[in-house]
Structure 1
């Protein structure tokens, strides 16, 4: 695949991503980009007939929150190391369909012409192609698939075949493939390793009434999985044959077509699981699912699905006037975020979503710091469900805290699926205690954006208090630092610096965590004293401990260098020598693939934003002058080897008035996956980076900050654009903000009157009212 102008791999289109190549060396990248998901199931954008052409292909269908567990092998082990890795499963692939004509396989790889595209508007994967047999018979094939957003257990596929210049017989083998695997690059820690044979054990396989059903037990886990397939056909087949196979059961059809006639095949694939290996319950549920799906039919199912995605775009769309490539990029990113987010309260969002096996499907802090920034401001119901997942794994976090020798509180795992710590490399894993502060930040941000006090009472306060009390056990009041509260032996977001004392980000976020915990305790005591008393009784929490939180927050040590006038990343960072960037070959990035961690740890070099991230997340706790000085010092030391980095720098450059640099970093973020700028999108998308691209527009160029449940804007129009707009769904209101060359427009689309702030100026908005104010526009470079 060759770049298409401006180094784009795909032609810019506002509402879709298209590939017109019938054979490509970039199959795995395209399979990631064309993936579909609905929060429960995800499937890569592979061909129904499988791949026969050049390059490598990676099949994959996944269920969010379903995993198998395997022991972690250590050369040397110590107390408290994570013992098992939870790995996202490959589950049976129900997409498998092979058509043939006169015994010759019909495939995209051998087509005369073909096109595949991801439709952003309706979250569907589509393709059309023209194919000719060796004997000159021509046909056209059109297919469409969607992972239903209305019926989360359903993957729906429609294929139409038209006989263009012949009368004859078309054969179809429609299967469920339960025996595929893939081996990734073992030298790349970002890539996962998956093999279905290692994780699933068949319990039952049946074909009855032209329906295929498989039941599998997941090895070394409590899960059972069921897969069912049925079809609806436009033509009565000449024959139907059952192919019984444990690994790939299939139904084989033969159809007679007249010239110009079109055959329509609708295939419905349903997945179910439970965590107590109750196979009878799965079978009953799948039977009911099949009855419902068959009664609804294709068009009703599509309409219900389309209604959900339409609602999403109403509350989330971002429009960019003046750059089609960036417009395509942001909508692609928002679509994948919506498709990937767990929506049931028992799953979350992996770093790669449901598009690939990278990072073994693990959930990180990415959700709370990046993704919930987007969801809380646009789709609060989904944000709430992601936070409920953390509540449902709170007991595991308590157990992990005890394992880590903390006598009280809860410590959330750095990487997990089911709630157990899965990080085998503790310096850049378990040591990142700031995961607790990330969850507290997400709780605070969700509450500020939604006003959902009931959630705080029901779930949030317990998580907040249990994670807050850990800081008092981890840190200490240091007499050598005038009694300030210090936190030793942790790793911050910058994973090129590990196991340090007083990481600025960790200390500052812990301070905000403790302060919010005290605020919530005070409010609960005042507004719902009985609920508060019951929770304190449950947690054995008393007023003395809350007072300790207040004191630790007030006395938190935030390292600062008076000579440079900057925040110190940690106590020792500025004492190290600077990395020799000038003599580091370009092909030696990312550094983590070319240098031992100890070599990296000895230098002033950053993988991603650390102090700079603190400046953004804690907003008006720091002056803009300090933010600028920190940017000036730390950005030249940052490799941006993490996709989480560029977006934060973009926001902070915008906040400090450095708009050209802000735009430079934004452009690096928004098409990160579409153009595979980090060279590993074939293993799955980068969900945090995608959320960061929204943040770059809304929090960066839009200047949105949510303070005390009020919306503050400081919008600036990039010189390269004619205008941009975005939607918010905050505090029970839906708004649209449009930024043009001369004016900004604020419009309240739904909800009661609200006061907002534009560069500090109060604006009162009534329902369906638009207010225009003067734009602060960046000058042309």
Structure 2
């Protein structure tokens, strides 16, 4: 794999710990210590200021800006203007002076530094001692958290304690809109209103082009009345300046309750007074009440979703960090939200969602939070009109979902991705079908789901074509999941998933016709689909070109088997990442694979293929894959585990849960690999747990890694809460909330009964 751990944080099953201050890891730590609640996210930056490298990032899901410049390439179908998640208000802004000396990370004399993120509470703490030039020592302690349910509410606590001599403390606290997006010296925000409040302040900002607004307000509570309190009202800032004299061992504590209200419609938050009334209502939530409910929230999460590993402390910490970040990034709080590739932890990938959401993130929510899973699909339904418009831009019909988006519009200005990759569209179709395996939600399927499926099928047929002899149908000039092959014909993943999308659309339409004539008539009227069109789709599907040899080996695309061969193991490690060291066109001239392509559909539609077909394709394609995608190792590990390749499965898995914690790709500083984090979860559940969810019955076939003593995980499936505990002696499935459930266990049909069900190996 050529990836080596850069371990910096201490290993603990429930806590991410940093001991000592190393400026080389400043931005990595900011990503790791990011907090979020889906509505908002904030990087783990030092609120008191730092001279170390830093990306001071504060983000709100769905708050974005448009690029300042149009794409100079004016060809039809090429995106003219991108959009991106924009940095917002620094609601944690704090500046501290002790006897007139500024406290600044990287500049002040700091000792006994520690920082901890408690995964059981979602509370980030930081402690250190600063020694002044006079020799005075002062301890500073910080805590912060974002409320997971009352998501507009965010909290900060600062404690200052002189240790040996009296100190005069000055603090400046406020809300600051002077944040820089990706370090640009450009203001994406205009200030509409400001107001100093008796115990805090409020400021209303508006984005330049999208006209979205963010009302940021705060109130302060002190352990003792400061000697002086002054109001600060600057162009992009509103806040308070405090002065207090402290004796040795006398603690001064200040708590900030921040309320941030985002208006995402682009119509503006015109009623400033009403906004302030909402703020005041939120201010009634106390720190103590918020902290109690915060701990209760995470207790419920761990009771229902924890994965316990005995015998590997590093992986134990890693998978809990993954589950924690998945909940912080998304838990179904708002159906207008999606999952960005970096979540709300950094500005890389511009905050965009990709096709990973439907293929790699959705399974976690299907098995833990079905309503959240549905909301991910609702996001795609709410942006169906934009997908229709995108299809028109490509001279096609139906709906083409974007490769990269925040608001439903295509935001990739790389034409070879935006105009050639259709994984998002077939991914949405697959996700609707996958959701149907878990939920008997006919209302969603018959109305929203079917409408998307019909428009996706319409697009696939209009984008495809027949060969000159009219013998077969397929898609020419595409790019499949393997992004090292461009403008290829009949990429098997693309053709096969297009066929799958069409077939499911036709099957579901027939079901609706039989079961709900009113919905059937409504969908025909809404989509204007005709019998002639449906017959055309069926013919295209029946004649879809899928290239497969007699041995079961799929050809990745037409002509792939004839491409020049590259031995990927002979590529120097110094050449990675290849995008930085090889000319762009050189990457496309051989059979080297970036990430699973054929193996990807063998994972998604796993139960559609025999073990031998999976084996022959794995053995052929795995040696050609260099895993330049962070999701790639997880898919390979899952298939390797299924095929009994234990050593390979373990090798691919070894860094999955700790990709960011140990900075394997040396880019954690840019933000967390959110969809790879979901892949790590799949790696345990689908890989070692042997779970498959693409059949009519739940499939479970656990194995246990040699180095583990035991492991356990939770699944929520069709009303049942399953707890699966695996040891080297046996394995147990405890079922709660349901009397019985028929599953496929190790290939045999088994009827689980409520309570404990124990099984022996073999």
Question: Given that residues 178 and 196 in structure 1 are in contact (C-alpha distance below 8 angstroms), is that contact kept between their aligned partners in structure 2?
Answer: no
TM-score by length of 1: 0.93
Matched, 1:520 2:508: yes
Counterpart Cα distance in 1 of 2:166 and 2:184: 43
Counterpart Cα distance in 1 of 2:276 and 2:649: 50
Counterpart Cα distance in 1 of 2:690 and 2:202: 52
The 3-state SS of whatever aligns with 1:244 is: strand
Matched, 1:214 2:200: no
Matched, 1:268 2:268: no
Question: Match for 2:329 among 337, 340, 345?
Answer: 340
Question: Given that residues 215 and 275 in structure 2 are in contact (C-alpha distance below 8 angstroms), is that contact kept between their aligned partners in structure 1?
Answer: no
Question: Match for 1:423 among 373, 390, 412?
Answer: 412
Q: Report the alpha carbon displacement of residue 22 of structure 1 after superposing the two structures with TM.
A: 2.3
In structure 1, the partner of 2:292 is: 303
Q: What's the CA shift string for 1:463-493, capped at 9, x where partnerless?
A: 122112211111234365x733211111111
Counterpart Cα distance in 2 of 1:80 and 1:40: 32
Counterpart Cα distance in 2 of 1:667 and 1:412: 34
Q: What's the CA shift string for 1:394-438, capped at 9, x where partnerless?
A: 1111111111111x3111111111111111111133310121001
Aligned residues: 756
Counterpart Cα distance in 2 of 1:130 and 1:238: 24
Question: Given that residues 180 and 187 in structure 2 are in contact (C-alpha distance below 8 angstroms), is that contact kept between their aligned partners in structure 1?
Answer: no
Question: Given that residues 524 and 532 in structure 1 are in contact (C-alpha distance below 8 angstroms), is that contact kept between their aligned partners in structure 2?
Answer: yes
The 3-state SS of whatever aligns with 1:249 is: strand
Q: What's the CA shift string for 1:723-769, capped at 9, x where partnerless?
A: 111111221222111111111111113344322221123333343x0
Counterpart Cα distance in 1 of 2:261 and 2:415: 35
Matched, 1:228 2:217: yes
Question: Match for 2:497 among 480, 490, 509?
Answer: 509
Counterpart Cα distance in 2 of 1:286 and 1:336: 31
Question: Match for 2:698 among 711, 716, 739?
Answer: 711
Q: Report the alpha carbon displacement of residue 338 of structure 1 after superposing the two structures with TM.
A: 1.2
Counterpart Cα distance in 1 of 2:185 and 2:282: 30
Matched, 1:455 2:452: no
Counterpart Cα distance in 2 of 1:463 and 1:752: 35
Matched, 1:728 2:715: yes
Query: Are the structure 2 counterparts of residues 622 and 122 from structure 1 closer, same or farther at C-alpha, using a change threshold of 3 Å?
Result: same
Q: Report the alpha carbon displacement of residue 165 of structure 1 after superposing the two structures with TM.
A: 3.0
Matched, 1:675 2:662: yes
In structure 1, the partner of 2:757 is: 771
Counterpart Cα distance in 2 of 1:505 and 1:721: 35
In structure 2, the partner of 1:79 is: 76
The 3-state SS of whatever aligns with 1:117 is: strand
Counterpart Cα distance in 1 of 2:59 and 2:567: 42
In structure 2, the partner of 1:779 is: none
Q: What's the CA shift string for 1:601-635, capped at 9, x where partnerless?
A: 11111111111111111112222112111111111
Greater Cα shift, 205-214 or 297-306: 205-214
Question: Given that residues 715 and 775 in structure 1 are in contact (C-alpha distance below 8 angstroms), is that contact kept between their aligned partners in structure 2?
Answer: no
In structure 1, the partner of 2:41 is: 42
The 3-state SS of whatever aligns with 1:255 is: strand
Counterpart Cα distance in 2 of 1:276 and 1:617: 38
In structure 2, the partner of 1:379 is: 369
Q: What's the CA shift string for 1:433-475, capped at 9, x where partnerless?
A: 1210011111111221233333223422211221122111112
In structure 1, the partner of 2:649 is: 662
Question: Match for 1:494 among 475, 482, 485?
Answer: 482
The 3-state SS of whatever aligns with 1:526 is: helix
Greater Cα shift, 626-635 or 270-279: 270-279
Matched, 1:253 2:246: no
Greater Cα shift, 26-35 or 382-391: 382-391
In structure 1, the partner of 2:269 is: 279
In structure 2, the partner of 1:318 is: 307
Question: Given that residues 91 and 196 in structure 1 are in contact (C-alpha distance below 8 angstroms), is that contact kept between their aligned partners in structure 2?
Answer: no
Counterpart Cα distance in 1 of 2:273 and 2:86: 20
Matched, 1:61 2:50: no
Question: Given that residues 434 and 510 in structure 1 are in contact (C-alpha distance below 8 angstroms), is that contact kept between their aligned partners in structure 2?
Answer: no
Counterpart Cα distance in 2 of 1:650 and 1:27: 32
In structure 2, the partner of 1:434 is: 423
Map of 1:634-645 to 2, 5 A cutoff? Answer: 634-645=621-632
Question: Match for 1:97 among 73, 94, 115?
Answer: 94
- Structure 2, unaligned runs of 5 or more: none
Counterpart Cα distance in 1 of 2:601 and 2:266: 42
In structure 1, the partner of 2:8 is: 9
Q: What's the CA shift string for 1:110-133, capped at 9, x where partnerless?
A: 322111111111122111223333
Q: Report the alpha carbon displacement of residue 534 of structure 1 after superposing the two structures with TM.
A: 0.8
Question: Match for 1:753 among 740, 746, 750?
Answer: 740
Q: Report the alpha carbon displacement of residue 557 of structure 1 after superposing the two structures with TM.
A: 1.6
The 3-state SS of whatever aligns with 2:178 is: coil
Question: Given that residues 235 and 255 in structure 1 are in contact (C-alpha distance below 8 angstroms), is that contact kept between their aligned partners in structure 2?
Answer: no
Q: Report the alpha carbon displacement of residue 13 of structure 1 after superposing the two structures with TM.
A: 1.0
In structure 2, the partner of 1:125 is: 124
The 3-state SS of whatever aligns with 1:302 is: helix
The 3-state SS of whatever aligns with 1:279 is: coil
Map of 1:186-225 to 2, 5 A cutoff? Answer: 193=182, 195=184, 197-225=186-214
Map of 1:16-35 to 2, 5 A cutoff? Answer: 16-35=15-34
Q: Report the alpha carbon displacement of residue 216 of structure 1 after superposing the two structures with TM.
A: 1.6
Question: Given that residues 71 and 81 in structure 2 are in contact (C-alpha distance below 8 angstroms), is that contact kept between their aligned partners in structure 1?
Answer: no
Question: Given that residues 131 and 140 in structure 1 are in contact (C-alpha distance below 8 angstroms), is that contact kept between their aligned partners in structure 2?
Answer: yes
Counterpart Cα distance in 1 of 2:157 and 2:719: 38
Question: Match for 1:471 among 454, 460, 485?
Answer: 460
Question: Match for 1:538 among 520, 526, 536?
Answer: 526
Q: Report the alpha carbon displacement of residue 7 of structure 1 after superposing the two structures with TM.
A: 5.2
Counterpart Cα distance in 1 of 2:569 and 2:5: 26
Counterpart Cα distance in 2 of 1:131 and 1:213: 31
The 3-state SS of whatever aligns with 2:74 is: coil
Question: Given that residues 409 and 470 in structure 1 are in contact (C-alpha distance below 8 angstroms), is that contact kept between their aligned partners in structure 2?
Answer: yes
In structure 2, the partner of 1:160 is: 159
Counterpart Cα distance in 1 of 2:529 and 2:230: 66
Greater Cα shift, 348-357 or 756-765: 756-765
The 3-state SS of whatever aligns with 1:753 is: strand
Q: Report the alpha carbon displacement of residue 362 of structure 1 after superposing the two structures with TM.
A: 0.9
Q: Report the alpha carbon displacement of residue 709 of structure 1 after superposing the two structures with TM.
A: 4.3
Query: Are the structure 2 counterparts of residues 268 and 195 from structure 1 closer, same or farther at C-alpha, using a change threshold of 3 Å?
Result: farther
In structure 2, the partner of 1:592 is: 579
In structure 2, the partner of 1:631 is: 618
Counterpart Cα distance in 1 of 2:554 and 2:142: 56
TM-score by length of 2: 0.95
Matched, 1:135 2:121: no
Q: What's the CA shift string for 1:368-418, capped at 9, x where partnerless?
A: 111112111111121111111111111111111111111x31111111111
- Structure 1, unaligned runs of 5 or more: 183-192, 777-781
Counterpart Cα distance in 2 of 1:739 and 1:511: 38
Q: What's the CA shift string for 1:37-73, capped at 9, x where partnerless?
A: 1101100000110113xx4111000111111112555
The 3-state SS of whatever aligns with 2:654 is: helix
Counterpart Cα distance in 2 of 1:281 and 1:770: 57
Q: What's the CA shift string for 1:244-272, capped at 9, x where partnerless?
A: 21133331112233433322211122222
Question: Given that residues 739 and 775 in structure 1 are in contact (C-alpha distance below 8 angstroms), is that contact kept between their aligned partners in structure 2?
Answer: no
Question: Given that residues 217 and 260 in structure 2 are in contact (C-alpha distance below 8 angstroms), is that contact kept between their aligned partners in structure 1?
Answer: yes
Question: Given that residues 94 and 269 in structure 1 are in contact (C-alpha distance below 8 angstroms), is that contact kept between their aligned partners in structure 2?
Answer: yes
Q: What's the CA shift string for 1:682-719, capped at 9, x where partnerless?
A: 11111111111111110011111124442110111111
Question: Given that residues 740 and 775 in structure 1 are in contact (C-alpha distance below 8 angstroms), is that contact kept between their aligned partners in structure 2?
Answer: no
